[in-house]
Amino acid sequence: MTDTREKIIQYIKLMGPVLPIQVSKHINTDIIFASAMLSELVARKLIRISHSKIGSSPVYYIEGQEDKLKDKVFEYLKEKEKQAYILLNDKQILKESQLEPWQRVALSNLKDFAIPLQVITKNGNEIFWKFHLMTNDSAKESIYNLLKEEQPKIEKSEQENTVEQKPEEKQLIFEPIKKEVEKPQKKKIVPAEGQFYNKVLNFLSENDIELLSMETINKAKEFNFVVRIPSKIGFLTFLLKAKDQRSVNDKDLFLAYAEGQQKHLPVIYLSNTKKTTQKANEILSNKLKGQVILKTF
């Protein structure tokens, strides 16, 4: 088990940023198990995961391989994002107030490459975008010089009686941008009970699935479990969503996938019905292939 995870890390060190499908071929397993192991390594902070995606899959890389990430994902960026990347790469530092609206949006989507900085001066706050490979010291120096250049020029006749106000570097305070995110309301945890819940527990027991944690989403109808599943390459961690319903549709699967992404875990969707909509079957074969496993009982 440990050897397999070390094998993945060494593979990424050698190859640079990779996709789960590449890892699955390297360790000779399917993409579901490869994704589970990659998610575990991300959670342990042994590897990193990109915000940019190729299809529906993020890219995994080792700290220090940030400069290689662009070569992997650039062609899959939207056109506006490509233009914003090229501009930021060229300038290294961009002042948000001088950008066009589409550029601001594009930069906010380039989370792997564009780092926002809030600069607090005596005249107010300014937002700048830093290229991800630029050091903080270089960014501070560049921003200081930009602000210095923006100071109004003083006529020679006025210089004798006027003190030129320069943006002293010690007056600049750099802070990371802290986006205010609405804290999701904690879901009320109620004692689990009922026929469906018992069937789920039986399913876990019959398949030797270890239950790590449980959250009740809808009493007797919907539960989220974090589970460990034995495999030939060791135990793998999944988010298992169990739901009592008449049929499984594409929205159910996409919501489960989104929850798994938040936890950096691949998803097993467990339902008590074998009925699935056509759209659900299509996305399981395409967009969510390797990301969500549908199981029924």
The string of pLDDT tens digits covering residues 129-175 is 999 999 989 998 999 888 888 766 544 444 444 444 444 544 555 66
Identify the three-state secondary structure at position 295. Answer: strand
Is 186 within the bounds of a domain? no
* Residue 52 vs residue 31, higher pLDDT: 52
106 & 62 share domain: no
The model's confidence at residue 286, banded by pLDDT at 50, 70 and 90, is: confident
Task: State the sign of the Cα–Cα–Cα–Cα dihedral 280, 189, 226, 16.
Answer: positive
81 & 63 share domain: no
Flag whether pLDDT at 194 surpasses 50: yes
Q: Could you say which DSSP state residue 134 is in?
A: S
Identify the three-state secondary structure at position 143. Answer: helix
Distance of alpha carbon 107 from alpha carbon 103, whole angstroms: 6
- CATH number where 289 lies: 3.40.1350.10
State which of 68, 103, 118 marks the end of a domain.
68
Helical H segments across 207-276, by residue range: 250-263
92 & 51 share domain: no
The model's confidence at residue 276, banded by pLDDT at 50, 70 and 90, is: very high
State which of 68, 98, 119 marks the end of a domain.
68
143 & 170 share domain: yes
Expressed as residue numbers, the domain containing 267 is: 195-296
Q: Which two tokens stand for residue 17?
A: 């940023």
Which pLDDT tens digit goes with each residue over 72-131?
A: 999 999 999 999 999 999 999 999 999 999 999 999 999 999 999 988 877 778 899 999
pLDDT of residue 230: 83
Question: 271 phi and psi, to 5 degrees?
Answer: -130, 155
Question: 150 phi and psi, to 5 degrees?
Answer: -80, -10
Flag whether pLDDT at 39 surpasses 80: yes
